Amino acid sequence: MDIARNWRLRKQRYALEGEQCDHCKQYIFPPRDICPHCGEDARGVHAMSGKGEVYSYTVVHEPPTGYETQAPYAIALVKLEEGPLVTAQLTDIDAAEIKIGMPVEMVTRRLRTDGEEGVIQYGYKFRPILSAA
């Protein structure tokens, strides 16, 4: 696991920190500095709200290295309320309960661990919305 790369990505992993284009005002996640909508520079930092809906999903039964202990799990394309599509694991839900269009919210969870002694990587996943009181 690349410790330095994970560390550099911590703002987007922990807080869904992306950008808002100064020119066309569209939201961008993950941040890429050039707006995919209008091609201009996009450097305005913006943390997404974390609310969105399931756009599509698939259940992973044969996971890549580092994720074996969590299988089976669902990976979804989540459409954030600001517009961008994010690929992320769904959590706190059984595969049978997942529906296209269901509202979800971002939570920070363990993504993977580098063996028994390595670092623990934390980042965003999405789960069904737990409403306020």
Partner 1 sequence: MNGSAEIQAERKSNAPIMRPARKTGITGYGAYVPRYRLPGKEISRVWTEGNTPPIVPEKSVPGLDEDVVTMSIEAARNALARAGIAPQKIGAVWVGSESHPYAVKPTASIVGEAIGATPNLLAADWEFACKAGSEAMQAAMGMVGSGMIDYALILGMDAAQGRPGDALEYTAGAGGAAFLIGPAEEALAVIEASYSYATDTPDFWRRVGANYPSHGQRFTGEPAYFRHTLAAGRALLEATGTQPGDYRYAVFHQPNPKFPQRAAEALGFSMEQIKTGLLAPQIGNTYAGSALIGLTAVLDEAAPGDRILLVSFGSGAGSDAFQLTATGRLPERRTLAPGTGHYIARRKEIDYGVYVRYRGKLKM
108 binds, among partner 1, Zn ion, none (CB under 5 to 8 A by kind): partner 1
Binding site for partner 1 (CB under 8 A): 10, 14-15, 47, 69-70, 89, 91-92, 94, 107-111, 120, 122, 125, 130-133
Closest to partner 1 by CB, 15 vs 77, is 15
Q: Which is nearer to Zn ion, 38 or 60 (CB)?
A: 38
Q: Which run of H or E residues covers position 128? A: strand 120-128
Name which of partner 1, Zn ion, none residue 21 binds, using a CB cut-off of 5 to 8 Å depending on partner kind: Zn ion
Residue 92 binds which entry of partner 1, Zn ion, none, CB below 5-8 Å type-dependent: partner 1
- Tell me the DSSP string of 13-82: HHH-EEEE-TTT--EESS--SB-TTT-SB--EEEE--SEEEEEEEEEESSPPTT-GGG-SEEEEEEEETT
110's CB contacts (< 8 A; 6+ apart) are 120, 121, 122
Residue numbers at the binding site for Zn ion (CB under 5 A): 21, 23-24, 35, 37-38
